Structure 1
């Protein structure tokens, strides 16, 4: 039975409690149907279930216990998806990390989570824990549908085996943190399943649907794709990220694989809409575009609708703290008088609250307020950070005496005359670049850790992160070079030069040196795309803070930055 909008859910879907229950619930009925199509292999539903069970057996035999953390430094693939199911089967908590993540960050996340195992391809990530590591983790290679362990598990399991329930953690996903350290978002099985149920009900896919997935494993949009496709009995198509800059090949791939719904951040369409908008017909099977993570220019959506007049367009809004919290089908045709896109008030089991400064609900159109989220799919908190958790999960302002906790998002929205919400940005320094959430303070911390940096401030512009750097005086025998095209300004601190894994530079501070410095400590999407250098102090506002608006106007010069794009 395929779920339909607002209709009853199938029995087995309502009674699934763990991730693998939901992802594999169609395996017996749809055994020979393709479940996931990857670049090099395809797994049917029966094969996916069998491979997941085999990997789970390997993990259990090696000594994985419920609650153990496993770091996954993998790109999306059918085998990686089987391993996610295997983690759920054993009760392990998976921690997805980009394979290209610098070694220092790999080690830091493994230490912080006290991981027991790091699974990666050959040559990816650290080979063994460093001296003084808090977690004596082992390494395994995922190859040919099986795990190859580097050594037996050293730590014996505890005396009491805890059975996994829906309230236990399914995964930890790390995003940028406002303190300059990555924040570990803890998601339980029950929270993820609540989201998947609402998603499957809204999209109401039939069995012939094929869902295109473009997101890397460490971006929780990928989990949205997996739950929607497999939970609906459809086929998941993994789209090679190399096609991002090959728009014709991207369209041909979507057409050849029969993708009916393409999920992803709007930027995946940017090259197509810029260079080959007249060739959208190559993706002939496309029926739905589902986007989130960034604002999608309405002009681009109109171009898509011009090629596919009946195209369903779904605007998804949310946060990693809930995977997402609202889906809204955009009208057909789109309004011509505005480029602002409405968003929903929450999917089934979730509700967005728009509250004014006085804490009361916003009821007048044109008024902006702060968004709070109450939902069944809320995260459990930030990994070992009770202070940050307490600031984010707060008592419901409208029911202060209940025991309900809601998520204070930091997002701002306006109530439209049509009754919809319209995103209006953020008050803090969180931005999104190509769908990846970035706290600018974390990038600034790494920039400040360079011995030649005196100040740093980071912002976002239309083409990505921008940086302006105030340098410390160069040694007398050094020659510095000026390279322009980024916007980060740095705050001077006395303890900013001790970043773990940082190396001491031998030459002058220039663009190449600072980019290498950042690349050693940050994932690629957080490395500034352009850098401006100055030998003078950065401008400040009357209250003494770095004047980002002046820096943006001076160095970006191309309109407002995209800070807080949904």
Structure 2
């Protein structure tokens, strides 16, 4: 019975002890056995540092994307506690806000970052010198149950106070089985990681490797500014699978010519998630790699990365919305209108709710926000049956697949019509000269921002595809749309810019 994320690692260590598990792009690598040994040492040090309690302790990690970060993840899990990873470039003010919510009991970092917090601190430079304590590790494992937390990832809160999404071992184990089975992952998988390790989009990369005996290449976030360098790396290292954000696919292939120098013949699986992928971008990649599996994945952090998916099995016009598909195994998707009336007919829009093992255990140290987002199933009141309220607008198409139209907070009422800004963006993104776009509603005006190398007259293009009430009053060209730390368009920055 698998009840600890480390159970997966132990199985792979026995089968592939000398195989490379993780490799930093242009840097060091580590085998399964070396990784397991080091994470046990760090776990032992944590156990000797922490004051014993009857509950799990939060451990704060601030490190760049690296093998040491992953060692820290597994070390914290082996110690019976849970981790929070923060971006090493995060402003001190936000770190302090998160600390006030998390109240960590220990801190893992690097001496090179020169971060001093009033916490018991373990430095990556000392990892090798720590001693393994088999007895302490065994005691920690015997106390473990699968509903214990594995991690708490912090997302932005509307009040300015970050929200800590609490995810259990059980949820990640369920996810690991699903992603491995659905995408037929095995020991031959060589994955190239794009997502920062402090977001859950990195989960399929990590568990997809550890669970199946594969290998994972860690690509620094800054390197994605150089598409040719990354595409050459995929070719050279014989990468078989990637799971990247839509914005990365957009930038790497603005047109069909950009991919021509790179055959990418080993790349068998291309997954996308974290935002809405445009059909235009999908079509560019599919025309270059016609025999590769493409999948569009959807899910908020609160449901352990992914709750529904669509494996591309047909052609799409450039201005069509791609489906987010159907529920993952052991997950149920429910759509309700604003009065909590159940919707299952084609074309009728409502808000998406999710139920299943994947659900977060709530927002850490925030009962009020947890109660607002995780609600009793409106279909009955017979027992506790929680749903997560995603805040996303969806509708079924004729294939029984869900289409996502964007956030409820990006839905506006204008001239008597409800408008999803995501629909306008999908049309803009289909323009052959637009790399990315975003719409906002400010001062009673619809304003479109688009990323292009040239100034475009979009009136005629949009009039052919959108009703008059959805036409932007103003279109603003930007050299590059502002992105937040999760590689999503920073809409607050756009509001502030005009």
TM-score between both structures, scaled by the size of structure 1: 0.69
2 CA distance for matches of 1:374 and 1:334? 31
Q: For 1:331-370, what per-residue CA distance to the aligned partner results, in whole angstroms no more than 9, with x for missing partners? A: 3442237521112231111111112344333232111011
Q: CA RMSD in A?
A: 3.2
Closer, same or farther: CA 173–235 of 1 in aligned 2, 3 Å: same
User: For the residues of structure 2 that align with 1:147 and 1:140, how far apart are their CA atoms?
Assistant: 11
Is the 8 Å Cα contact of residues 101 and 524 (structure 1) preserved in structure 2? no
**Matched residue, 1:104:** 93
Per the alignment, in what secondary structure is the counterpart of residue 215 of structure 1?
coil
Partner of residue 21, structure 1: 7
Match of 2:335 in 1: 354
TM-score by length of 2: 0.78
Quote how far apart the aligned CAs of 1:412 are: 1.1
Match of 2:239 in 1: 259
SS, match of residue 26 in structure 1:
helix
Shift of 1:523: 6.3
Distance 1:162 1:342, change over 3 A: same
Residues 208 and 301 of structure 1: CA distance in aligned 2, closer, same or farther (over 3 Å): same
Deviations 1:351-397 (A, max 9, x none): 11112344333232111011110111111111111111111111111
How far 1:462 sits from its partner (Å)?
Answer: 5.0
Tell me the residue number matched to 2:41.
Answer: 54
- What is the DSSP-based 3-state SS (H/G/I as helix, E as strand, rest coil) of the residue aligned with 1:181? coil
Please give the secondary structure, in 2, of the residue aligned with 1:22: helix
Other structure's SS at 2:101 match:
helix
Report how many aligned residue pairs link the two structures: 425
Of the three residues 5, 10, 18, the one matched with 1:32 is 18
Cα distance, 1:287–1:525 mapped onto 2, change above 3 Å: closer
Deviation at 1:282, TM superposition (A): 4.5
Q: Are 1:243 and 2:223 matched, yes or no? A: yes
Shift of 1:199: 1.4
* Match runs of 1:184-203 below 5 Å: 184-203=164-183
1:169 lines up with 2:169 in the alignment: no
- Any conservation in 2 of the 1:101–1:125 contact (CA below 8 Å)? no
The alpha-carbon deviation at position 248 of structure 1 amounts to 0.9
Structure 1 residues 179, 353: closer, same or farther in 2, change over 3 A? same
Moved more, 25-34 or 319-328: 319-328
SS at match of 2:262: helix
Could you tell me which of 66, 76, 83 is aligned with 1:94? 83
Determine if the alignment matches structure 1 residue 231 to structure 2 residue 211.
yes
CA drift of 1:525 comes to 6.8
**Corresponding position of 1:45:** 32
**How far apart, CA to CA, are the structure 1 residues paired with 2:282 and 2:272?**
11
What is the Cα deviation at residue 428 of structure 1? 2.5
Residue 73 (structure 1) aligned to one of 62, 77, 87: 62
Distance apart, 1:306 and its partner CA: 1.3
CA–CA distance in structure 1, aligned partners of residues 340 and 9 of structure 2: 40
1:387 aligns with 2:368: yes
Where in structure 1 are there 5+ consecutive unaligned residues? 1-14, 130-136, 149-159, 431-460, 470-484, 487-521, 533-547, 556-566
Native 8 Å contact 2:278 2:318 kept in 1: no
Matches for 1:143-222 after TM superposition, within 5 Å? 143=125, 145-146=127-128, 163-222=143-202
Q: Tell me what 1:142 maps to.
A: 124
Show the counterpart of 2:309.
Answer: 328
Superposed CA deviations along residues 45-79 of structure 1, whole A, max 9, x for unmatched, are 11211121121122222236561111111122222
Q: Which residue of 2 aligns with 1:292?
A: 273
Matched, 1:303 2:284: yes
Tell me the residue number matched to 1:436: none
Name the CA shift for 1:327/1:139 in 2 (closer, same or farther; >3 Å).
same
Return the alpha-carbon distance in structure 1 between the equivalents of residues 486 and 283 of structure 2: 32
Between Structure 1 and Structure 2, which shows a larger proportion of helix residues?
Answer: 2
CA distance in 2 between counterparts of 1:193 and 1:184 reads: 20
User: Secondary structure at 1:382's aligned position in 2?
Assistant: coil
Q: Which residue of 2 aligns with 1:558?
A: none
- Preserved CA contact (<8 Å) 1:32 1:45: yes
Cα pair 1:315 1:328 within 8 Å, conserved: yes
2:394 maps to 1:413 = yes
Instruction: Tell whether the 8 Å contact from 1:210 to 1:258 is kept in structure 2 after alignment.
Output: yes
Q: Relative to 1, partners in 2 of residues 1:52 and 1:201: Cα closer, same or farther, differing over 3 Å?
A: same
Supply the distance in 2 between the matched residues of 1:301 and 1:44 (Cα, whole angstroms): 35
My pick for the range that moved more, 254-263 or 275-284, is 275-284
For the residues of structure 1 that align with 2:102 and 2:439, how far apart are their CA atoms?
29
1:346-495 aligned at under 5 Å gives the runs: 346-428=327-409
**Distance across 1 between alignment mates of 2:78 and 2:246:** 34
Q: Distance in 2 between matches of 1:311 and 1:526?
A: 26
Kept in 1: contact 2:97–2:162 (CA 8 A)? no
Q: CA deviation at 1:172?
A: 0.8
Q: Decide whether aligned partners of structure 1 residues 367 and 397 sit closer, same or farther in structure 2, where only a CA change above 3 A counts.
A: same
Deviation track 1:93-118 (CA, whole Å, cap 9, x = no partner) reads 10110011112222332232111222
